[in-house]
Amino acid sequence: MRRLSFLLLLVVFGCSTSQKESGAIELADLRLTDLAGSPVDLDQYKNKTVLVNVWATWCRPCLQEMPTLAGAQATFSNEPIVFLFASNETLKQIEGFKQRQKFDFNYLHLNNQEELGILALPTTFIFNKEGELKFSEAGYRNWVSDESTQLISSILNDTK
């Protein structure tokens, strides 16, 4: 019975992590490093929309979502949008995953996942060209659906 309860919670909430209220974060709040361990300068993404997908190698919904994110990345390849794939797992785990997968993703290490208040994995943030959070969602999403494509397009075209 206890095992069934745990499985039901996992299905309802995805791959959960720590809780903290989010919403006031900005792109500059993310502390990211590349797979060589060097800090990522987020200023390089000024004037670009940035989609950050937080995932883990052990998270089944994360892995199921990746092909749809690859599709969205391809759909918007000629637009000023950057797709970043951040995990708080070790650099070795992320690199190993990258080597085993077919996705052409910009894999990064997220150094402050708990500070950002990640409720569940996968979690996706979309920041506008000014680095302001315009969308966040925890859980699986089909990123090639019409709704998701319209969402990304609306943030790309967001002018203050």
Domain-by-domain residue ranges, the chain?
Answer: 2-156
Task: List beta partners, residue 133.
Answer: 127
pLDDT in tens, the chain (160 residues): 544 343 333 434 444 433 334 447 999 999 999 999 999 999 999 999 999 999 999 999 999 999 999 999 999 999 999 999 999 999 999 999 999 999 999 999 999 999 998 979 999 999 999 999 999 999 999 999 999 999 999 999 986 5
Q: Please say whether the structural domain 2-156 has been given the CATH code 3.40.30.10.
A: yes
The answer to whether the beta carbons of residues 119 and 44 sit under 8 Å apart is: no
The answer to whether the beta carbons of residues 61 and 121 sit under 8 Å apart is: yes
- Determine the pLDDT at residue 156: 96
Burial grade of 153 (CB within 10 A; 0-12, 13-18, 19 or more): middle
Q: For residue 110, which of 11, 39, 24 has the smallest C-alpha distance? A: 39
Spell out the residues 6+ positions from residue 128 whose beta carbon is closer than 8 angstroms to its own: 49, 134, 155, 158
What is the DSSP annotation of 31-57? -EE-TTSPBP-GGGGTTSEEEEEE--T
